[in-house]
Amino acid sequence: MLQVVRTIALKYNNMSRAQRLTFGALLFLTWAMLVWQAAIYQPQTEDTIPPISTTTTTSTVDDSQTADNAEPMDQPTPDDDIPKDELDEKIGGEVVPNEYVVSSGDTLSSILTQFGIDSSDVYLLTNKNPALANIKIGQQLSWTLNDDGDLQSFTWAVSRRETRVYQRNGNAFTETINTLKGEWKNNVLTGTLDGSFVSSARAAGLTNSEIHAVTKALQWQLDFRKLRKGDRFSVLLSREVLDGKSEQSQLIGVRMQNSGKDYYAILSSDGKFYDREGSGLAKGFLRYPTPKQYKVSSPFNPRRLHPITGRVAPHKGVDFSMPIGSPVLAVGDGEVVVAKFSGAAGNYVAIRHGRQYSTRYMHLNKILVKQGQKIKRGDRIALSGNTGRSTGPHLHFELWVNDQAVNPLTATLPRSEGLIGKDRSDYMALAKEVIPQLHL
């Protein structure tokens, strides 16, 4: 060490004045940095070492702005902030059950759990009803829940003639098989708008459930609130008539003429509706409302319990831990129906996608859209933040289907692809028969 010091001193004495000044400045800066690091260093203890995250993320997050943040467990979701119109109302006071059409890859468990139904309820339903393992693509399922989110009844439309109903009875579900023996007949109902679509459809002879089916089939092509007086529609229904009364019906095809332009929706064998060319009508959704995939700090949990009261305090969405100012994207095409500050939700945006879907984005730092604005999938709608009742910077994101919150990370999302191959050939043959019947 002494030899090193002597060597440095010898080199220093042989330096010019300018070199000595430069060397001294560098030595001072090095000493200052060492003193500053020592001042801010805080030894970690077992209490301060952060837990190791098991969640994989593809983004780089500034730890100084984020934490594993979740909103308080008693935070309400601003349900009433979504504007309602005539098409949203429970027509005639009837309870509209949750509905689902079985798609490729679905199982009964995957369908129900994405809607927040507890796995124990799914087990009770399927345990002594093995026939439910045979659900097929295109079949219609529906169910009702009680106020606590427990499954109360489940209906499986096996075919147009057979429906199986499973009703909760204590800790079991009892099966009832209903087979209607009426005669199925096709009916074409036509009408002209004179007032709202609902009132005009009723005047044409459509029932409440048939009106719901029509608006659902055309939801991606038309805004029913903007139809004009004089617009015309034609609906092809298959109705079962028993003892002179219509027992049930199925929508086969619909044609809506709006300002001289025709819109079609025709039912395929997979239970979905397509246009005249076999193209899908639904608009595809993004899985995540962000350009990058951020860490999930609090998952969807409709049965979450408050740690103190023990009451069920549902977490109706997913929290993404992300820095303030990160872009927030619309996951699908739609219309902004809420864009404002809303108490515990902070700066809050809600978007309606068709008639069945809506998404909600909360605790935003800055809102970039306005109520009534039309947006496209992937549009930047806000910057994430920490507003409202929030424990730290994060985005709270919700996906609602048929007025019920579902798990955004596992829900079956609408897809926009059309039919191909034999499926398209079969559909085009069907469409060739249906379209001429939809006369105006």
- Give the tens place of pLDDT for each residue, 174-185: 999 988 777 888
Q: Kindly state the percentage of the chain with pLDDT values over 70.
A: 77
pTM for the predicted model, two decimal places: 0.70
Q: Is the pLDDT of residue 62 over 50?
A: no
Q: Under 8 Å CB-to-CB from 290, ≥6 apart: which residues?
A: 59, 320, 322, 326, 327, 328, 329, 384, 395
* CATH architecture of the domain with range 104-137+139-179: Roll (3.10)
For 309-339, give the DSSP string. T--B--B-SEEEE--TT-EEE-SSSEEEEEE
Question: pLDDT-derived band of residue 28, with 50, 70 and 90 as boundaries?
Answer: low
Question: Does the domain at residues 183-282+418-437 carry the CATH identifier 3.40.190.10?
Answer: no
Least confident of 67-76, 127-136, 240-249, 261-270: 67-76
Q: Do domains 104-137+139-179 and 183-282+418-437 have the same CATH topology?
A: yes
Give the CA dihedral 111, 112, 118, 119, nearest 10 degrees: -50
Mean pLDDT for all residues in the chain: 81
Sheet strands side by side (includes 245-258): 183-192, 232-242, 245-258, 261-267, 273-274
- Segment 383-401 shows an average pLDDT of 92
- Give the tens place of pLDDT for each residue, 65-93: 444 455 544 455 665 567 776 666 654 44
- Give the tens place of pLDDT for each residue, 404-440: 888 999 888 887 778 888 989 999 999 999 999 999 8
Q: Which fold has domain 295-406?
A: Glucose Permease (Domain IIA) (2.70.70)
**114 residue type, one letter:** Q
| Spans of all domains in the chain | 104-137+139-179, 183-282+418-437, 295-406
251-290 in b/e form (b: 16+ CB < 10 A) is bbbbbbbbeeeebbbbbbebbbbbbbebebbbbebeeebb
The Cα–Cα gap between 132 and 118 comes to 17
